[in-house]
Amino acid sequence: MATKKVTQQVESTQVEQPQVETVNVKTNVPTMAQVAKEVEKAAKKLRRVIVHYNDPRDSHLVTSAYANCDNAYFSLGKIIPLDTSIELEQALCDNLAEAKVQVHVPDPKGSGNMTVKMIAKYSVVYED
């Protein structure tokens, strides 16, 4: 038995016009310049801090430290006194807190060897 397929052709003289809806969307997307200004303002916020030097090898000799922060939008750099209350930018405080130094400590196993330990180079104490 053979089956027969019947197809119908419908001729239409009308073409459907798509309806376009316009929607006004207000976006508050900041530009890159605005973001850079906000980040720079937050990084340059002054904080009252005391910076301590933690390296036991020469902590009794060091009286000042150089702190800097550079990126594509701004650059900060200062020579700061240690162990005194000063006003310092937040970006410099963050960089000082992240600095590490290698210290050799005796091996805990008692082998007589020294092991390397990374410690924070500076301690930043916030007073505000």
Residue ranges of domains in the chain = 32-126
How much is the average pLDDT of 97-119?
Answer: 91
Looking only at the bridges linking them, the beta strands covering 46-53 and 122-126 are: antiparallel
User: What is the average pLDDT value for the chain, to the nearest integer?
Assistant: 86
Closest CA to 86 of 71, 68, 58, 64: 64
Has residue 1 got a pLDDT over 60?
no
Is residue 46 within 8 A of residue 126, CB to CB? The reply is no
Alpha-carbon span 71 to 35, nearest angstrom? 14
Edge-to-edge strand ranges of the sheet holding 122-126 = 85-89, 46-53, 122-126
CA distance 118 to 80: 23
The pTM (predicted TM-score) of the whole model is: 0.69
> If you average pLDDT over residues 42-61, what whole number do you get?
91
CA distance 120 to 11: 82
In percent, the amount of the chain with pLDDT more than 70 equals 87
